[in-house]
Structure 1
């Protein structure tokens, strides 16, 4: 598209309604051009305009870049928020990736619910991103590269210049006599993106002059296909969810072919806030958790998360190593007991069908974890039942049984939270009662 204020205004009017918009201002050519365009449009903009500058501290010119952005915004009478970052890069991590993630998080922290963030990526950036994702072996989400609009908690991230070439931005800047800052690291070809920009793209253009346009179009098509793929995954997910909403039915998963199954698993994992596992891990989920032996209890772990199977359900949970206390935990009054880290808390509150208030107030209350051999006398039954058998009947996954807090009154098992009150501790109809709830998070 020709880079004009009127065309940009058309694009902005298609964005979600917001009372405030933040421009990511680095001080480089692209963001300075976008800022100038927005200033020209300010009387017509449907939102309040602000700018955010992120000071990484990675280069000795960082202070001068911040000063430049402050002077620029002062001249335009645009409020500017400068955010300073201290980056910690672990061994094996990409400085480029860590800086990018920290930059976006810093900008998200400055936004309120429903607000917009504008960034100045253009068509050439899109082409470079697509090539990077292809070389990394990315899936559909990666090949969609940068969407023009995406959710960005707590609001939206928009890229209104994706249809513009770098050349058109340069021409606009010269035409309006703009000044900007040059980042010398953009010439450092040790970074993959810079190598593609300075070595690969010129070579492609020498053979295919419209390479950037074509690659950008391919990314847009991939984005459209990704929308269809996600819609299909959402439909499959709705059919596979169990009644509790937290797990998936193995029987339902077995009805899907491999491609749809892995697509569903990726969607389910991503929607749960977990990082996506590798392709090998997904294959293991398919082979071991979905199509494995019915009596198997597989465990697939990655990056602090794990998928397990129990009977006809597939579970996704944060991986936790919990040191269970060997000694009982005393519950010394109050309506809440904080459990060891990772196990949540217990809440005692009035409710029907709970423990007799009289017994509760007079007894020595303790919380213990399974040691083996526990038994419970269920209401309306004449003999005690092993807790192991009860867990099997209730369908409690094996890995959750050891973590379940058991409430004892005067040394006897009284409450299995969420399941039952053992006799003789259940309140009679005429008595006040206390319910015990286990809050896992």
Structure 2
């Protein structure tokens, strides 16, 4: 038995109770880490530790060879008699709220596809080949973000995912052990050149920072990974404390401001971090979190302070902190519609249609009749858009939402009408005063559902 193959017999971790007795789906890139993980999982299946094993490979369509890489991952599985499938995904667009990096958008698309795979096999659990070095890199990234203990706990061994579980059994295993198993198996592994791109933060840590640390401290990777274990234990204690303060904190979509009263500012930050982690989000930078805590206590009751990071948001509104899981998308071509004839109804992608009808005295938003002969376009509103709703300076649409007390989580449903490329009307919010008509000399917008 070779040293690498001995890993199959000496490496063992307990199967977490939620995972016991469940079939395993391995997410495989076809790379050396994935192949090493496949060999261990296959060995565990033969030993009866797991009941069944299959492989899914995600084709992100980023690299010209991406499809062949997925085929290679399937060929590796076939060599061990393990069934495999390929899922092809399209990356989400870059948005104003996040997802700017290719790596982040690929991750989002990948995990959305893996959630579909679990939905098709609801008794199964997801396994990924994350190893000790991945965990060390995650700890360093969390340190550089100033994420606090929740970020330093890094990746959990077992976590809820897509109605099932995501199990990472290899977090205590050195990457060299996984790669040794792959090297001694007679199949070709995928070499993704993007893994060498040090413009990516994780790759920079992997290729530039960690080797430097290991030259000075040879056990740096192990110690960083163990730090995550220790912090995770401390996080568990913090979670228990948070549950005593607010028992619903792990499932609540709104957090009463009252639970923050009577505890110190650091304790308030810990409560919010426990809540954020329960929502499955990354941790916000500490500076933003602490500034948000300052604002929610200092702002006037009619204000709605917001903590926004990545694609997540928390907003204070009427004595509650509301969790906003998904931010409104930025404008994309399919969300912008020309309205060639405003006197004819226009269907919207949301399943409703807008119809202009002659205004009556009961209508509150009436647009002048002479506007109908001009060029109309419908698009998502932007924070910088301006309307003049009273005499004087124009006001930002974002400010109008705030002054009317519209929660951030509800603002995504509003659209803006441009006339001759000028922002004019956000139906249900405000109409520019220079375009207003009157009953008998104007038109009102009506929403018809199910049309």
TM score, norm. by length of structure 2? 0.63
The match for 1:34 is 37
Aligned to 1:78, the other structure's residue is in SS state: coil
The aligned residue for residue 316 of structure 2 is: 308
- Correspondence for 1:426: none
1:262: how far off? 2.3
Instruction: Return 5+ residue gaps in structure 2 as ranges.
Output: 329-349, 351-361, 366-403, 411-451
Q: Which deviations, in whole Å up to 9, do the C-alpha atoms of 1:228-277 show, x marking residues without a partner?
A: 22222222223999xxx876554543211111122223444565678866
Q: How does 1:92-131 map to 2 (within 5 A)?
A: 93-112=100-119, 113-131=122-140
Correspondent of 1:141 among 121, 130, 150: 150
User: What SS does the aligned partner of 1:110 have?
Assistant: helix
Q: 1:288 to 1:70 in 2, by over 3 A?
A: closer
Contact 2:254–2:323 under 8 Å retained in 1: no
1:257 equivalent in structure 2: 264
CA distance in 2, matches of 1:63, 1:201: 31
SS of the residue corresponding to residue 50 of structure 1 reads strand
Tell me which residue corresponds to 1:190.
Answer: 199
**2:83 pairs with 1:79:** yes
Q: Is residue 20 from structure 1 mapped to residue 31 from structure 2 by the alignment?
A: no
The equivalences for 1:24-423 within 5 A come to 24-43=27-46, 44-90=48-94, 93-112=100-119, 113-238=122-247, 248-268=255-275, 271=278, 279=286, 282-283=289-290, 285-290=292-297, 296-301=301-306, 302=308, 305=313, 307-310=315-318, 313-316=319-322, 318=324, 399=405
**8 Å contact from structure 2 (residues 55, 84) kept in 1:** yes
Distance in 1 (CA, whole Å) between partners of 2:169 and 2:279 is: 29
Contact 2:24 2:124 in 1 (8 A): yes
SS in 1 for 2:247: helix
Q: Deviations over 1:39-74 (max 9, x none)?
A: 233231332211110001111121221221222222
Conserved? CA contact 2:128–2:168, under 8 Å: yes
1:307 is paired with a residue whose SS is strand
Larger radius of gyration between Structure 1 and Structure 2: 1
User: What does the per-residue CA deviation read over 1:307-360, in whole Å, with 9 as the maximum and x for residues that have no partner?
Assistant: 3354xx32526599xxxxxxxxxxxxxxxxxxxx9xxxxxxxxxxxxxxxxxxx
CA distance in 2, matches of 1:13, 1:144: 18
| Segment drifting more, 255-264 vs 52-61 | 255-264
CA deviation vs aligned residue, 1:96-116 (integer Å, no higher than 9, x gap) = 111112111211111044521
- On the 8 A contact 1:274/1:305 being kept in 2, the answer is no
Q: Tell me if structure 2 keeps the 8 A contact 1:299–1:309.
A: yes
Structure 1 residue 218: deviation in Å?
1.0
Report Cα offsets for 1:173-212 as digits up to 9, x if no partner.
3444453121111112221212211111111111111111
**In structure 2, what is the Cα distance between the partners aligned to 1:189 and 1:144?**
24
For residue 16 of structure 1, report the CA deviation from its aligned partner.
2.2
SS of aligned partner of 2:199: coil
Q: Normalising by structure 1, what TM-score?
A: 0.64
Does the CA-based 8 Å contact 1:289-1:309 persist in structure 2? no
Distance 1:101 1:399, change over 3 A: same
CA shift in 2, pair 1:276/1:140, >3 Å: closer
CA separation in 1, counterparts of 2:87 and 2:12? Answer: 28
Per-residue CA distance 1:115-141 (angstroms, 9 max, x = gap): 211111111111122112212222222
Q: What is the alpha-carbon distance in structure 2 between the residues aligned to residue 246 and residue 370 of structure 1?
A: 34
Q: Distance in 1 between matches of 2:62 and 2:233?
A: 37
Q: 1 or 2 for the larger relative contact order (CA 8 Å, sep ≥6)?
A: 2
Q: Distance in 2 between matches of 1:204 and 1:274?
A: 29
Say if 1:137 and 1:250 are closer, same or farther in 2 by CA, change over 3 A: closer
Answer yes or no: is the 8 Å Cα contact 1:52–1:83 preserved in 2.
yes
- Once residues 286 and 66 of structure 1 are traced to their aligned partners in structure 2, the CA distance between those partners, rounded to angstroms, is 46
Partner of 2:94, secondary structure, is coil
- Distance (whole Å) between structure 1 residues aligned to residue 258 and residue 247 of structure 2: 14
